A and B are shown apart, each in its own frame.
Chain A
Amino acid sequence: MASLPHDLAQLQEEMEGHARSYGLDFFPVIFEILDYRMLNQVAAYSGFPTRYPHWRHGMEYEYLSKSYSYGLSKIYEMVINNDPCYAYLLECNARVDQKLVMGHVYAHCDFFKNNLSFSRTNRKMMDDMANHATRVRRHMDRYGVETVENFIDAALSLENLIDPHAPFIVRDRPPDEPARPRQVAQRLKSKSYMNDFINPPKVMEAEQKKLDDVAASRKNRFPASPVRDVLRFLSEHAPLENWQRDVLSIVREEAYYFAPQAQTKIMNEGWATYWHSKIMTERALLDSELIDYADHHSGTLGGRGRLNPYKLGVELYRDIEDRWNKGRFGKEYDECDDIAGRARWDRGLGQGREKIFEVRRVCTDVTFIDNYLTEEFCHAQKLFIYDYNPKTGMYQISDRDFQKVKQRLLLQLTNLGQPLIEVIDANYRNRGELLLLHRFDGIELKQDYARHTLQNLQRLWARPVALQTVVDEKSRILSFDGEDFEEKDTADRVA
């Protein structure tokens, strides 16, 4: 990879100066200039120069190369969360594009460094990715390419079963936690001479035994409480060989590394867009570059009918900045029901800039939308929800109601838009089978995928596996014993 040519190095210095002058705070950024093949390679490896060998990267590469050569898409830039931050520029970009991209990259880098959800990510991931690649290659040399590749397929199939909040929460209770007090059977109130009739000793005994049994079964249950980090559970408890455990831990580590990026897609892209447009329009843009800049900038924000994270993000930051500049928040403003008064509302607070820096530090997409998406914003941005109409077989706009839009948006962002699935019993039916629970929130799983995933899970667990979920609006248990699938009602489940 070539180091930056002189003119771009100069440009970098200039853009870095602009970014700093606005108060952006970032790791050192190393720009590298690549031709489109190299850039596609890097993109297929999710931003890294090297990853463990797997056909999925090849598929991604095929897709990127095709859409590039047919002119359907073009990657302008890539940047990775690392210290120092690496960013890649496309060789054939015009100078104005490189400028825009650099501004964009500095803001991304500021976001990586300062947003709290990234605070526990590995900042030397560049090196670790290379190490992972070496480890996987070594396993391949030793156990055979196909064997290892098949195992990676199975591991990647479970890649999304992690607990994105795990770095910040202690989920496991300490083992020496005091035992729960023994639950005593409830007596009905009675006079002492009536006691034996109102609370017959036989009934009381039976009641007490039932309670004790429940307590005992809870004590023996494994895991004691549901586990969201399925990957970790498997690498600790599944009967795996050492190399398999190693591959699984690699997949898990990388999944955790990428999770914050999925958690902050809208915020991160919005932030970068906000700053490239600010820097370009206020400082860096030359007169002759205006048209090209406007063209590319609007290209980033476009998308008919679609919700574009760049667009939503940048507009929301601008809205927040405006509201905090004018003091349009708090009890007094919320309770003002004079439309004209609200429209004119300006306390001259000037806290906008400060506020958006705070937001970029403490929020993720979920809290960003939850705290700052207002009704006015929703209407101004013409947000809507759409649904599938089974009668026409078409997607149609179904509502523009603020609450519904917000709710839907939050639902899509919750748990990275992935279903919430936990291990609840590793000794299901007292046969060492594994039972997972899909915490149903209104959307069912894709059935064929769910079955194939169960198959992969079974390969890791070796014993039969089961998933409790909802199929066609009925609670069902789907199980796979290594040969056949079985689907039955939850009622049959032994508690």
Chain B
Amino acid sequence: MILRIDQDHNRFRQIVRGRIKKDLRRYISSGELIGRRGKDLISIPLPQINIPQFVFGKKQAGGVGQGDGDVGTVLGPGESEGGKKGAGDQPAEHLLEVDVSLDELAEMLGEELELPAIEPKGRKNIISSRDRYVGISRYGPESLRHFRRTYKETLKRSIRTGTYRPDNPLLVPIRADRRYRSWKAASMPQANAAILYMMDVSGSMGEEQKEIVRIESFWIDTWLRHYYKGVDIRYIVHDAEAREVDRDTFYHTRESGGTVISAAYKLAARLMEQEYPQDEWNVYALHFSDGDNWSQGDTEECITLLRKQLLPRVNLFCYGQVESPYGTGQFLVDLKEALQDDERVALSKIENKDGIYQSIKDFLGRGR
């Protein structure tokens, strides 16, 4: 049912969207929104949207209350004045916490950064359906009879009609009591994407560098999820060796070894080969490092690996070089030299949190 208020509500949401967009740049580089993400929604704290009036400042105000306590008893901090209101006061100020769907957020990101839309490549539009048993029905084959539900119905009916005897609890199900499992056909995602995150966790990558990676990957996730129904995300960390880890470990491990980047690329290539065949998946590989590779020889190997194994399989390969006090940053220079003209490669240098904005633009600006 459509309510009259919906019009006003939509107008309000439009205004809110405008506010978020205005502040999006700040949200992008601060990472404030990570951890506010639910399944499909993200809740964004906004400064109060209000109609200004001549009102009393709350600074010196105070008020009247009721209850126990001696003079000097602390009631609460000065910041959150919500609960401590006097009589006859105006309605309490609401803190605005707005739910925005991830799709909406991605759209805003796209508009703000002027990102081109992604076109899933190849024939990735596989639709297959699978049956899943999700419900209960009154009719069905006996093989799918749900014994417990049937029993419950019988019990309910017998208590309702007064035929239930606690001393002789004999229950006979009738036709109407029977319950069966029922199924729904679930169609598989149309276009699938796999995101491979690779990160250098050698000693030279500090907390701040990881934070940048974290924020950046959040926005890249959001953007890619907007275009693909099913998104698989894999995480690879490397120092001198590479291994696949879960999300949590990815952001929190800290190793101390040296850096051999080719190890990570080899592992990535193997993953793609085994699990993400090129004609079914849109693969995105992102690698973050401070650009300090072990040897020039390994860098050569990396470039070969990229050319021969990685690039042919991916939609996009992104390399983000996070500035750190220890890294020389040579790797970026080498990659630039070798692969600059390849449209499957996006390179970016991220000096600090403010650089995130530009680097997301670099990565996603290709529309691939």
Contacts and interface: CB of A to CB of B under 8 A. Distances in A.
Interface of A: 37-38, 40-41, 44-45, 49-50, 53-59, 61-63, 66, 149, 153, 156-161, 262, 265-266, 303-309, 311-312, 365, 381-388, 392-400, 405, 408-409, 412-413, 416-419, 421, 438, 443-453, 456, 467
Contacts of A399: 71
B113 to A, nearest CB: 26
Contacts of A421: 54
Interface stretch (B55-63, B166-174, B177-185, B334-342): B55-63
B78 A53 contact: no
Given A55-B11, A307-B63, A394-B75, 19 more contacts: A41-B4, A58-B13, A62-B9, A305-B84, A306-B85, A307-B86, A388-B59, A388-B60, A388-B61, A394-B74, A394-B78, A395-B62, A395-B78, A409-B86, A417-B56, A418-B90, A419-B54, A444-B60, A447-B57
Given A41-B3, A58-B11, A453-B54, A385 B65 contact: yes
Pick the most buried of A308, A309, A397: most chain B CB atoms within 10 A of its CB. Answer: A397
Contacts of A419: 54-56
Interface stretch (B45-53, B155-163, B352-360): B45-53
B51 A397 contact: no
Given A41-B5, A395-B76, A386 B84 contact: yes
Contacts of B55: 160, 418-419, 445-446, 449
A363 to B, nearest CB: 14
Nearest to B92: A63
Contact of B62 (A157, A305, A387): A387
Contacts of A57: 5, 8
B35 interface: no
Contact of A398 (B57, B60, B62, B89): B62
Interface string B1-32: 10111011111111100000000000000000
B216 to A, nearest CB: 31
A438 B54 contact: yes
B54 A445 contact: yes
A397 B65 contact: yes
Contact of B63 (A59, A160, A385, A392): A385
Contact of B66 (A37, A266, A383, A452): A383
Given A61-B5, A266-B88, A387-B62, A397 B75 contact: yes
A153 B69 CA distance: 43
B73 A397 contact: yes
A450 B54 contact: yes
A443 B77 contact: no
Given A58-B10, A388-B61, A456 B75 contact: no
Contacts of A412: 63-64, 86-89
Nearest to B48: A59
Interface string B95-110: 0011000000000000
Contacts of B14: 55
A349 B86 CA distance: 35
A311 B1 CA distance: 38
B71 A400 contact: yes
Nearest to B72: A396
Contact of A307 (B51, B66, B70): B66
Interface residues of B, number: 55
Contacts of A149: 11
Nearest to A45: B5
Pick the most buried of B5, B49, B70, B77: most chain A CB atoms within 10 A of its CB. Answer: B5
A54 B56 contact: no
Contacts of B11: 53-55, 58, 149
A453 B88 contact: no
Contacts of A62: 9, 12-13, 98
Contacts of B78: 388, 393-395
Closest 9 CB pairs of A and B: A58-B12, A452-B52, A58-B8, A387-B62, A58-B9, A446-B57, A41-B5, A55-B12, A449-B52
B64 A397 contact: no
A408 B88 contact: no
A448 B53 CA distance: 10
Main secondary structure of the interface of B (DSSP, over half): loop
Contacts of B49: 59
Interface string B337-368: 00000000000000000000000000000000
Given A53-B8, A397-B72, A409 B87 contact: yes
A419 B67 CA distance: 28
Contacts of B51: 56, 153, 156-157, 159
A386 B65 contact: yes
Given A398-B62, A446-B55, A304 B5 contact: no
Given A62-B9, A395-B75, A397-B71, A413 B87 contact: yes
Contacts of A456: 52
A305 B69 CA distance: 9
A365 B57 contact: no
B327 to A, nearest CB: 43
Contact of A443 (B12, B52, B60, B76): B60
A172 to B, nearest CB: 23
Contacts of A304: 67
A292 to B, nearest CB: 25
B67 A446 contact: no
Contacts of A381: 66
Given A381-B66, A446-B56, A446-B57, A392 B74 contact: yes
A37 to B, nearest CB: 6
Pick the most buried of B15, B54, B84, B85: most chain A CB atoms within 10 A of its CB. Answer: B54
B94 interface: yes
B198 to A, nearest CB: 40
Given A41-B4, A50-B4, A58-B10, A384 B52 contact: no
Contact of B65 (A37, A161, A365, A383): A383
A416 B89 CA distance: 7
B119 interface: no
Contacts of A156: 51
Pick the most buried of B7, B65, B86: most chain A CB atoms within 10 A of its CB. Answer: B65
Contacts of A405: 64
B248 interface: no
Nearest to B1: A37
Given A394-B75, A397-B75, A443-B56, A262 B88 contact: yes
A305 B81 CA distance: 13
Contacts of B86: 307, 408-409, 412, 417
Contacts of B135: none
Nearest to B91: A60
A306 B58 contact: no
A398 B60 CA distance: 13
Contacts of B66: 303, 305-308, 311-312, 381-384
Contacts of A386: 62-65, 75, 84
Contacts of A56: 8, 12, 51
Contact of A388 (B1, B8, B62): B62
A58 B57 contact: no
A250 B157 CA distance: 60
B62 A59 contact: no
A449 B12 contact: no
B142 interface: no
